[in-house]
Amino acid sequence: MRLPAGAMLLVLGLVSVVVVAGCGDEPRAAAPSTVLTVPSQPTSTATTSSSITTSSAVPSTVAPTTIAPATTATAPSLPDPPDTTSAGASGTVESATSAGFVVVIDPGHNGGNGSASAEINRQVEAGGFRKACDTTGTATNGGYSESAFNWDVSNRLAGLLRAAGVQVVMTRDSDSGVGPCIDRRAGIGNLVSADVAVSVHADGSGAGNRGFHILVPGSLPGFTDDIAEPSRQYARILREELPAAGMPPSNYVGSDGIMVRTDLGGLNLSDVPKVFVESGNMRDPTDAALLTSPEFRQRWAERIAAATLRFLSGRRP
Minimum separation from the CB atom of position 261 to Zn ion (A): 12
Minimum separation from the CB atom of position 43 to Zn ion (A): 31
Give the separation between CA 312 and CA 194, rounded to whole angstroms. Answer: 11
CB-wise, 26 or 241, nearer to Zn ion? 26
CB within 8 Å of 41: residues ≥ 6 apart: 63, 64, 65, 73, 76
CB-wise, 15 or 166, nearer to Zn ion? 15
- For residue 187, report the phi and psi dihedrals to the nearest 5 degrees: -60, -30
64, 170 contact by CB (below 8 A) = no
* Residue number with the smallest Cβ distance to Zn ion: 23
The residues of the shown chain that bind Zn ion, judged by CB under 5 A, are: 23, 27, 108, 137, 201
E-strand spans in 108-249? 123-125, 130-132, 167-170, 196-203, 213-217
DSSP for 135-152, written as a single string: ----B-TT--BHHHHHHH
Minimum separation from the CB atom of position 149 to Zn ion (A): 9
CB-wise, 163 or 242, nearer to Zn ion? 242
Please name which of 15, 53, 180, 205 lies closest in space to residue 107, comparing C-alpha atoms. 180
Minimum separation from the CB atom of position 61 to Zn ion (A): 29
Quick one: residue 257, left, alpha or beta (phi over 0 = left, psi -120 to 50 = alpha)?
Answer: left
CB-wise, 27 or 114, nearer to Zn ion? 27
Minimum separation from the CB atom of position 176 to Zn ion (A): 17
Give the separation between CA 281 and CA 272, rounded to whole angstroms. Answer: 27
Please tell me the number of Cα atoms within 13 Å of 95 on its side-chain side: 17
Please name which of 92, 95, 114, 120 lies closest in space to residue 28, comparing C-alpha atoms. 120
E-strand spans in the chain? 102-107, 123-125, 130-132, 167-170, 196-203, 213-217, 258-261, 274-281
Q: How many residues would you count in the chain?
A: 317
Q: Which of 119, 278, 295, 302 is catalytic?
A: 278
CB-wise, 102 or 132, nearer to Zn ion? 132
Task: Tell me, rounded to whole angstroms, the distance of Cα 255 from its chain centroid.
Answer: 22
CB-wise, 108 or 217, nearer to Zn ion? 108
Pairing of strands 196-203, 102-107: parallel
Minimum separation from the CB atom of position 26 to Zn ion (A): 8
Active site residue 302: no
Active site residues: 278
